[in-house]
Structure 1
Amino acid sequence: MENNLIQAIQTNWVSLLVSVIMIAALYVLAKKRVKFGTRVLIALGLGLIAGFSLNIFDQDATSVQTIGTIYVNLIKMLVMPLVAVLVIKSITSISNLGHLRKIGIKTISIFLITTGIAATIGLLVALVFNPGSGITQSVPEGFTAREVPTFSQVILDLVPSNPIADMAAGKVVPVLIFAIFVAVAIVHVGSKKPEAVEPVKAFVASFAEVMNQVTKYVIRLTPYGVFALIASMAARYGIDTLTPLMKVIVATYVALGLHFILTFGGLVAFVAKVNPIKFFRKAYPTIAVAFTTRSSYATLPVNLEVITKRIRVSDKIASFVAPLGATMNMNGCGGIWPAIVGIFVAGVYNIDLGLSEYVLIVLVSMISSIGVAGVPGPASISTTVVLTALGLPLEGLGLVLAIDAIVDMGRTAVNATGTTVSALLVAESEGEFDREAFNRDEEDQLEMNPA
């Protein structure tokens, strides 16, 4: 056992040394009170440099990857208790259940509309780039297409049967639904016997405060986690992996960028009437964490802090929209990516698509983005649904496996940002957005410097 440990240290000493030096540099920046967003951006750049260097010199990046995994696990630790307590707190603060229904309809409508726009942008960009031309790669060995769950199975997956087991299994949607039932029951009982639910409401409010503090502890580690995740990703894939499918990568990021700027920027500027540059600057922690963790669930604690402390949306709107968005709002994974892959696969197999197929891509993308909520690997499932609807070979999905992690960073960043935008739009329409505080704040509202 000692020999194995010594051998592992000898194999990973370079990446371990790189990790220690880079993390020390980021810590020094924190002690010098460099802004959180700036440190995250520096960490991202250092991670790319370190990762590509390790890849070029064929060095093992296990040590760096371990640090990133620890960070992701700590964030995942927060998700279940946060979802449960914040949803209950949010709903119990809305005594009018009709008001709650109105907020829910607005939220889901925004999710569907923006996903439809995203699919349209992805479709148009893919038609311009024609990413399938010239691709002669074979399907990766051992590839099996993700099985599309039946409608009844999707419904069953959404309904909680054992909330504790669902929490342990990381199933967010059943936990979310259970929390809604509990919250509605508290409101119902409270309307008749206020004194009976006061202890429960006091406990929920107290526990929410404690979880907010735990969240702050973990968020302070973000620059170090971002460095480690980006470095391990770059070291694993390197530049060579990107070359054969560069057109798909470029098309995807162009579509994501257009959706980010045109759709999100347009909604923020013209619907919410907020300066989009200031909005995106304040939303940067959410974008950075989503980009590096590639998980909307892992980004949820950060996004909640950003929405309430920096965007200045009320707690009751943020606590409802953010958990729902982490589950159902998939502009990148369920809108842009299936559209681009659909056009890509059609090009690879020389299958002509017409206007009716293009419309089908957009409609199916919208429906599947909600329908696969709570199913692991939503991007793969949504893409499989679209390919099936178009009658395209499912094996085509295997051709893009090599770059899935690369594009997933951008997809997740767009998903999470879409939730932030949705929270702003709902809050603005309900009078729950503190515009004066948003415009007044110039400094970061998240206290993330290490103690």
Structure 2
Amino acid sequence: MIILNVCIFLSGVVGLFILQRKKVSFNILVLSALAGAVGFGVFLNLFDGETAARSLRWIGIVGSIYVRLLKMMVVPLIFVSIVCAIINQKSGRQMGRIAAWSLVFLLGTAAIAATVGGLTAMSFHLTAEGIAIGESEAHTTHSLQDQAGNMGLLEDTIVGIIPENPFYAMTGQGPNATLSVVLIACLVGVGIIGVRTYEPEQAELFTGWINALNTLVVEIVMMIIMLTPYGIFSLMTSTIAGGDFAGILKLMKFVIASYSAIFLMFLIHALILTMLRLNPLTYCKKALATLSFAFTSRTSAGTLPLTVRALTEKMGVSGGVANLTASLGVSIGQNGCAAIYPAMLVVMVLPTVGRSMTPGFFLVMVLTITVVSIGIAGVGGGATFAGIMVLSALGLPVGIAGLLIAIEPLIDMGRTALNVSDGMVSALGTARFTGNFNKTVYDDPKAEFVDKAARH
């Protein structure tokens, strides 16, 4: 049966390849991959656990390779694109304005998301009281409590953005690696501008190298992006087939509340776009492929190359804004993982310690979540890390995160898609306010990066 399952999967891959060769719309390819993966995942769930698991080990290879390819390009894309954007603008002042507006949008939406998460949890009357805890949940709870005890202070996280060894930071290691790379790229870019004042020939030499390298990196990223439908087909199949439906049913109320909050925040993103005089339906269409991958892969960092290309090729955002804002959004102000989720945990924990939510404490919670959202890694487990930090900062027990371990993959999909959407909306807002936006491209229904990559 394992061979049969793998053959069915390969048939699906061949089908997607045929559609791609016929130049079917990229969004249609993504939707086809999602639909096929859901059906195939349900089919695999009918088999015994061992057969499904062994089948998924082979089926998951495609998705794992795709995610690793994207992650491989995150650091080169951030570094080269930001340096290139700075030196081509001839001034570092513009990037300062872009960074400031990016933080305004990212942290502002994080505060709104924390409010939405808290109010949603209260309206659903969520509480951790009476939730049964099994052996695996108990083990996870103890592990999380140990992590909370070993966790550094917020100021340590902020200081950690400045790397002691820039070469180590450029390997992408550590929770603040993305922000560290952004900082290094900004310093290099501004440094090249400074060199122009006394060694113009050397500066032009560096500029030529960076622009050439940027062209090469973008081309490689485009080649990888063309594999998106196959990656989604593999990742979504593994998610559906490997889902713990028994655990999901036990905590269904929390799942529904979580997705209600996520949906409300997506509506707020649409409202922000409307206030920016941008059509939300156009945004949904052009962001579909990127958000679909974020949903299936559960990694904001891994989605970054797709996010940047969608912003620049489909939505008319300049390269400097797209790269800086989207890169900051991977580790700052994540609406789903670092805002909604911690807020819901706080509401659930309060009754277990004999406390009630007051307007004053609610405000403190929102402010704490907004500050703590700085430096949360955009990878799997980031939401748990954010929850631990917020609960610890508010003097609350952190064990609740262990009780929700069974449904973590399911709700993490929606949270990650929301995180990526926040980065894109923040980039659009920043581009609007800094004059780095081409509305003609945004409104053009034919503006797709797949058209540029069709030659491959």
Which TM-score applies when normalising by structure 1?
0.92
**Given the superposition, is the C-alpha separation of residues 163 and 46 from structure 1 closer, same or farther in structure 2, using an over 3 Å criterion?**
same
Q: Which residue of structure 2 lines up, in the alignment, with residue 141 of structure 1?
A: 138
Counterpart mapping for 1:13-92 below 5 A: 13-58=3-48, 59-60=52-53, 61-92=56-87
Q: Which residue of structure 2 lines up, in the alignment, with residue 364 of structure 1?
A: 368
3-state SS of 1:241 partner: helix
3-state SS of 2:446 partner: coil
Q: Which moved more, 1:276-285 or 1:353-362?
A: 353-362
d(CA) in 1 for partners of 2:455 and 2:250? 43
d(CA) in 2 for partners of 1:228 and 1:385? 33
Q: Which moved more, 1:136-145 or 1:282-291?
A: 136-145
Q: Which residue of structure 2 lines up, in the alignment, with residue 216 of structure 1?
A: 222
* Per-residue deviation, 1:206: 0.6
Q: Which residue of structure 1 lines up, in the alignment, with residue 171 of structure 2?
A: 168
Q: Does 1:329 align with 2:333?
A: yes
* Per-residue deviation, 1:337: 0.8
Q: Which residue of structure 2 lines up, in the alignment, with residue 150 of structure 1?
A: 153
Q: Does 1:250 align with 2:256?
A: yes
d(CA) in 1 for partners of 2:78 and 2:301? 10
The residue type equivalent to 2:126 in the other structure is P
* Per-residue deviation, 1:278: 0.7
3-state SS of 1:168 partner: coil
The residue type equivalent to 2:212 in the other structure is S
The residue type equivalent to 2:273 in the other structure is V
Q: Does 1:241 align with 2:247?
A: yes
Q: Does 1:297 align with 2:289?
A: no
d(CA) in 1 for partners of 2:194 and 2:250? 59
**Given the superposition, is the C-alpha separation of residues 347 and 244 from structure 1 closer, same or farther in structure 2, using an over 3 Å criterion?**
farther
Tell me if structure 1 keeps the 8 A contact 2:300–2:378. no
Q: Deviations over 1:269-324 (max 9, x none)?
A: 11x20111011211112211211111111111111110000001112221221212
Q: Which residue of structure 1 lines up, in the alignment, with residue 442 of structure 2?
A: 438
Q: Deviations over 1:338-375 (max 9, x none)?
A: 11122223356664332222222211110000154689
d(CA) in 2 for partners of 1:169 and 1:211? 17
Q: Which residue of structure 2 lines up, in the alignment, with residue 4 of structure 1?
A: none
* Per-residue deviation, 1:169: 4.4
d(CA) in 2 for partners of 1:326 and 1:169? 13
Question: Among 391, 394, 400, which residue is 1:396 paired with?
Answer: 400
d(CA) in 1 for partners of 2:17 and 2:378? 37
Q: Does 1:159 align with 2:156?
A: no
The answer for unaligned runs of 5 or more in structure 1 is: 1-9
**Given the superposition, is the C-alpha separation of residues 108 and 282 from structure 1 closer, same or farther in structure 2, using an over 3 Å criterion?**
same
Which TM-score applies when normalising by structure 2?
0.91
Q: Which residue of structure 1 lines up, in the alignment, with residue 196 of structure 2?
A: 190
3-state SS of 2:127 partner: coil
Counterpart mapping for 1:256-275 below 5 A: 256-261=262-267, 263-270=268-275, 272-275=276-279
Tell me if structure 1 keeps the 8 A contact 2:331–2:375. no
* Per-residue deviation, 1:443: 5.2
d(CA) in 1 for partners of 2:350 and 2:183? 39
The residue type equivalent to 1:142 in the other structure is H
d(CA) in 1 for partners of 2:411 and 2:455? 32
d(CA) in 2 for partners of 1:295 and 1:310? 22
* Per-residue deviation, 1:450: 8.0
Q: Which moved more, 1:247-256 or 1:323-332?
A: 323-332
Aligned length: 439
Q: Which residue of structure 2 lines up, in the alignment, with residue 7 of structure 1?
A: none
Tell me if structure 2 keeps the 8 A contact 1:39–1:223. yes
Sequence identity percentage: 30
3-state SS of 1:237 partner: coil
The answer for unaligned runs of 5 or more in structure 2 is: none
Q: Deviations over 1:399-445 (max 9, x none)?
A: 11111111111111111111111111111112211112322333534
Q: Which moved more, 1:436-445 or 1:23-32?
A: 436-445
3-state SS of 1:283 partner: helix
* Per-residue deviation, 1:25: 1.7
Q: Deviations over 1:26-84 (max 9, x none)?
A: 11221222211111112112212212221221222211222211111111111111111
